[in-house]
Amino acid sequence: MQYNPIKHGYVNNLNDYPFYSFESYLNKIKRIELVKQFSNNPE
């Protein structure tokens, strides 16, 4: 999906990251599809 800016030390709060697009991504694919992606690709 996306690189995690918190994990890589760019920010402490995801909302502070200027390229944060998770919210718009979630609106596009719906929550159910997102859950499928995470269950299919555990890190």
Output b/e per residue, 6-33; b: 16+ Cβ within 10 A: eeeeeeeeeeeeeeeeeeeeeeeeeeee
Residue range of the domain that includes 22: 1-43
Render pLDDT for 5-43 as a digit per residue (tens, 0 to 9).
Answer: 888 899 998 778 888 777 777 777 777 887 787 787 665
Global confidence as pTM: 0.41
pLDDT attached to residue 1:
43
Predicted local distance difference test score (pLDDT) of residue 15: 78
Number of domains in the chain: 1
pLDDT of residue 43: 59
Residue 2's pLDDT is what? Answer: 59
